[in-house]
Every structure is written in C-alpha cells, then in structure tokens.
Structure 1
Amino acid sequence: MDSDLVLVLGLILVGLAIPAAMSAHSDGRRPIAPAATLLIATGLIVFAYVAHPGGYTVRDVPGVFYSVVGRFMR
C-alpha cells in the first residue's frame, strides 16, 4: 500500500474520531470506540511517516491529501 494513501486514511480516521470522542464525553459515555480509532489512526500515520523516504513535513500534508483524492477522482 502506498504510504501517501496510508497517511490520508490515518488523517481521515482522526477527523472522524475526534467528534465521536467529544460526543461520548458530552453524553457521559466511555469513549472506547473513538479511543481505539485514534490508536489505529496514530499507528497508520506513524507507519506512513516511517515508510516514506525522508518522512513527511506539515507542508507536505495538503499536497499529499489532494494527490491521493485526485487519484480516486479520475
């Protein structure tokens, strides 16, 4: 699997887990599923960083995101 795709999947999972964790916290529930999702997302992001030669910088993330989305939009 492409490290760019893994990075984008991890970022999307983070984006989905944060509102779920806030919702669970506001309802007084234990955020088990959002916590597990955050752990998986963190693992994906770390794997992508290690697998990509030279790693990623914060400046690279928007370009990587748009290139991956562009590949699937064609």
Structure 2
Amino acid sequence: MTPDLILVIGIVLGVFSVPSIISALSDRRPPRVAALVLIASGCLIVWAIQKKPSGYALRDVPNAFVRVIGQIAR
C-alpha cells in the first residue's frame, strides 16, 4: 500500500465517523464504534505521514486524492 492510499483511507474514515459520532451523541448513546473508527483513522493518517520520507503538507492532500483516484481508474 502506498502512503497516498493509506492517507486517503484514513481521511475518508475520519470524515465518515464524525456524523456517526454526532448521531450517537444526539440519541444519547455512547459512540463506541464511531470512536474506534476515528482512532483507526488517526492511526492510518499518522502511519502514512511516517511512511512517506518527506511527509505531507496540507497542500499535498488534494494531490494524494487525485493520485489514488488515478490509480483506481487505471
């Protein structure tokens, strides 16, 4: 797995877990699964940053999404 793919998966999981956390809190339930997914997302993002020698800047993230979509489309 490339660092770009790991980063994109981590960001997508993190974005999808936020509405789940909000929904669980509004229903007065503990957001157990959503919290675990958010932690996993953070771990994937940190792993991707450590795996790429130069790391990621904020301006590199959209390019990572484009590279991953290009890999999938090929």
Aligned-pair Cα RMSD in Å: 0.7
Cα distance, 1:67 vs. partner?
1.0
Cα distance, 1:12 vs. partner?
0.6
Structure 2: gaps (5+ residues): none
Percent of aligned pairs sharing the same letter = 42
Structure 1 residue 35 corresponds to structure 2 residue 41 = no
Question: 1:29 is paired with a residue of what secondary structure?
Answer: coil
Cα distance, 1:66 vs. partner?
1.2
Question: Deviations for 1:4-42, whole angstroms, at most 9, x for unmatched residues?
Answer: 100000001001100100000111100000100000000
Question: Deviations for 1:23-66, whole angstroms, at most 9, x for unmatched residues?
Answer: 00111100000100000000000000000011000000001011
What is the match of residue 45 of structure 1?
Answer: 45
Q: TM-score, normalised by structure 1?
A: 0.96
Aligned length: 74
- Whole-angstrom CA distance in 2 between matches of 1:71 and 1:36: 28
Alignment of 1:1-74 (within 5 A): 1-74=1-74
